[in-house]
Amino acid sequence: SQQGEEDPQALSIQEGENATMNCSYKTSINNLQWYRQNSGRGLVHLILIRSNEREKHSGRLRVTLDTSKKSSSLLITASRAADTDSYFCATPTYNQGGKLIFGQGTELSVKP
Amino acid sequence: EPEVTQTPSHQVTQMGQEVILRCVPISNHLYFYWYRQILGQKVEFLVSFYNNEISEKSEIFDDQFSVERPDGSNFTLKIRSTKLEDSAMYFCASSGVAGGSNEQFFGPGTRLTVL
């Protein structure tokens, strides 16, 4: 089954605006993780929110998790051109391996 | 800050050739992973490795693929006989605890091009 489907697929905003990306998943999770990706640095971990948490902040990032709706959102406040990247949510499996299942991602473009 | 490194950054090979992709995970980590991303597609899990053996592998990880931790620092992915469809970005990741409980740290990737 698909896990971690993001929407929108692409988002274009002006610098200073807030960017909101959503993620839905299908099975039970113990945490949900957000990553960003650019061609230079590969995948960079942004934030992890555990299933018993509803909201978490890190700098300009705010993540929410609604386990009843099996959804999460990533908010980037006061966006900058340097935030332009692809953003993915990922959910780990419960088993020993703990593989991450990634969504398709949201391509964020922040125009100066 | 410790980081995962991967070499080479770009590998071009002929179909049918063997390739070895190398990764140096973060030194005190115990769980290791390979993922791949075909251009324009999702990042897909290939294999996880713990305690010197494979913990889990995906359907993609067939007999053409193998992983090894030949010494205390390197973690390699070998593709025995490459196919055109193996062209992708390959990411190595490591985690200090069971990867499902904590973040995984990714390397910058190796872009594999099979001609």
**Rounded (to 5) percent helix, strand, coil in chain B:** 5, 50, 50
Which residue's entry shows tokens 């959102």? A73
Q: What is the pLDDT of residues B48-71, one digit of tens each?
A: 999 899 999 999 999 999 999 988
Query: What CATH number is given to the structural domain containing B54?
Result: 2.60.40.10
pLDDT higher than 50, residue B33: yes
Let me know: does A21 contact A107? Beta carbons within 8 Å. no
Bond preceding residue B25 cis, omega within 30 of 0: no
pLDDT higher than 80, residue A109: yes
Q: Which of A94, A99, A105, A76 lies closest to A5 in space, CA to CA?
A: A105
**CA angle, B68 then B71 then B76, to 5°:** 30
Which residue's entry shows tokens 């140096």? B24
Nearest to A96 among B98, B103, B109 (CB): B98
At A5, the pLDDT band (50, 70, 90 cuts) reads confident
pLDDT higher than 60, residue A14: yes
- Number of domains into which chain B is organized: 1
Whole-number percent of chain B with pLDDT over 70? 97
Residues of A with CB under 8 A from a CB of B: 30-31, 33, 35, 40-45, 48, 88, 90, 92-105
Query: What CATH number is given to the structural domain containing A9?
Result: 2.60.40.10
Burial of B59 (0-12, 13-18, 19+ CB in 10 A): exposed
How confident is the model at residue B5, as a pLDDT? 95
- Tokens read off for A88: 């993915």
Question: Among all residues of chain A, which has the CA nearest to that of B91?
Answer: A42
Q: What is the pLDDT of residues A78-100, one digit of tens each?
A: 999 999 999 999 998 766 568 89
Per the structure, the complete domain to which residue B106 belongs is given by 5-114
How confident is the model at residue A42, as a pLDDT? 82
pLDDT higher than 50, residue A1: no
> A98 and B107 in contact by Cβ < 8 A?
no
- Number of domains into which chain A is organized: 1
Instruction: Tell me the pLDDT of chain A averaged across its residues.
Output: 89
Which chain A residues have a beta carbon less than 8 Å from that of B100? 30-31, 92-95, 97-99
How much is the average pLDDT of B81-109? 88
pLDDT higher than 50, residue A45: yes
Phi (first) and psi of residue A31, to 5 degrees: -160, 170
> B101 and A44 in contact by Cβ < 8 A?
no
How much is the average pLDDT of B76-95? 96
Per the structure, the complete domain to which residue A53 belongs is given by 5-111
Whether B60 contacts chain A with CB within 8 A: no
Question: Alpha-carbon distance B44 to A104, whole Å?
Answer: 10
Let me know: does A13 contact A21? Beta carbons within 8 Å. no
Let me know: does B36 contact B43? Beta carbons within 8 Å. yes
How confident is the model at residue B74, as a pLDDT? 93
How confident is the model at residue A11, as a pLDDT? 93
| Interface test with chain A among B35, B37, B44, B104, by most A beta carbons within 10 Å | B104
Residues across chain B: 115
pLDDT higher than 60, residue A2: no
